[in-house]
Structure 1
Amino acid sequence: MVFIIFVIFWACVLSLVLSKIKSGRMAKWAKLFRILTLVFSISIFAYWFIKKSAVAFVDNSVGLQVINKLPQPLDFYLINVNKMENTTTLEPKHIGKIRPEYYRIEYLKMDKSDEYWIIGYLGKKNLVYFSQHAVPNKNIDQIVEVQNYINQSVKLSDAAKKQVDAYNYENTKLGIWITLDFLLLFLNLVLILRKNKS
């Protein structure tokens, strides 16, 4: 998706430059390129947002229910520990902020994993909960009740924190590029509609 966002960005920049061509044979090709850029970009973003907002159910997955029994809302992250031959990779995912006595459901793809970690933050940087969970039977859904402020392993929680920080940094960068794309799309759309009206 990152590559497509860069492509959309440069296509929109080129569309703005081409909007200066107002006459001649090149004007028709420029207008066609600008219209195709708009249609392609809007279609990609529409598909992406629908996919993101849909329920994240995964085939052959393990259902995980995280219940917050603590008196304060916590921001939870999940790290799937993938093990392949001699390497271990940590795959972070944001579960979301869970209020007291509420829960969230996630679906874990456990084909390369038999373990996951749950990290809870009070605020943005204050890690107050870390737990490590094994999945011996991948046919049984998991329920995790967060009842105490605990850190089961300082070493593992430090590794998890680094992964979460990197994950949030990448999401922030992606958010900035998407915002720029939307701004350029809006400018291109306004220019095309205004030209059509005149």
Structure 2
Amino acid sequence: MVFFILVIFWACILSLILYKIKSGRIAKWARLFRIVTVVSAISVFTYWFIKKSAVAFVDNSVGLQVINKLPQTLDFYLINVNKIDKNISLEPKHIGKVRPEYYRVEYLKMDKSDEYWIVGYLGKKNLVYFSQHSVPNKNIDQIVEVQNYINQSMKLSDAAKKQVDAYNYENTKLGIWITLDFLLLFLNLALLLKKNKK
């Protein structure tokens, strides 16, 4: 998705530059490019938002239910421990904020993994919960009840925290690029509609 966001960004900037061309043979091609850019950008973002909003069910996956039994709302992250050719890669995912006595459901793709970690934050930086879970049977869904503030491994929780920080940094960076794209898309759309009214 990052590639498409960068392509949309530069296409929108080029479209704004091409807006200055209002006469001659190139003007028709410039206008066509601007229309294609706006329509394509709207289509890509619509598809992306629908995909993000849909239930993240994965075929041949293990269902995970995280239940918060603590008296405070915690922000949970899931880290899938993938083992590829004797190398371990950590794949973080934001489960979301879970209020007391509520739960969230996620689906784990465990084809290259038999272990996952749950990380809970109170606020943005305060890691108050870490647990390590193995999946011996991938046909049975997992239920994790968070009943107390524990940290099963300081070493692993430090690794998990680094992964979560990197994950949040990448998401923030992506959010900035998407905001810039929306701004440029809005400007291009406004200029196209203004042109049509004349």
TM superposition score normalised by structure 1: 1.00
Structure 2 partner of 1:41: 41
Deviations 1:157-179 (A, max 9, x none): 00000000000000000000000
**Aligned-partner residue type, residue 126 of structure 1:** N
Distance 1:86 1:116 in 2: 17
Distance 1:26 1:185 in 2: 22
1:81 deviates by 0.1
- The 3-state SS of whatever aligns with 2:63 is strand
Distance 2:18 2:187 in 1: 13
Structure 1 partner of 2:112: 112
**Aligned-partner residue type, residue 80 of structure 1:** N
- The 3-state SS of whatever aligns with 1:148 is coil
Deviations 1:141-172 (A, max 9, x none): 00000000000000000000000000000000
1:129 deviates by 0.1
Structure 1 partner of 2:167: 167
Ranges in structure 1 where 5+ consecutive residues have no aligned partner: none
TM superposition score normalised by structure 2: 1.00
CA RMSD of superposed structures (Å): 0.3
- The 3-state SS of whatever aligns with 2:128 is strand
Ranges in structure 2 where 5+ consecutive residues have no aligned partner: none
Say how many residue pairs are matched.
198
Deviations 1:71-115 (A, max 9, x none): 000000000000012200000000000000000000000000000
- The 3-state SS of whatever aligns with 1:21 is coil
1:65 deviates by 0.1
Distance 2:65 2:110 in 1: 15
% identical aligned pairs? 85
Structure 2 partner of 1:20: 20
Distance 2:134 2:71 in 1: 26
Deviations 1:6-61 (A, max 9, x none): 00000000000000001111110000000000111000000000000000000000
1:188 deviates by 0.1
Distance 1:173 1:33 in 2: 28
Structure 1 partner of 2:178: 178
1:189 deviates by 0.2
Q: Which runs of 4+ in 1 moved over 2 A?
A: none
Distance 2:24 2:101 in 1: 66
Residue 157, structure 1, aligned to residue 153, structure 2:
no
| Superposition map of 1:1-198 within 5 A | 1-198=1-198
Distance 2:32 2:59 in 1: 41
**Aligned-partner residue type, residue 54 of structure 1:** A
- The 3-state SS of whatever aligns with 1:131 is strand
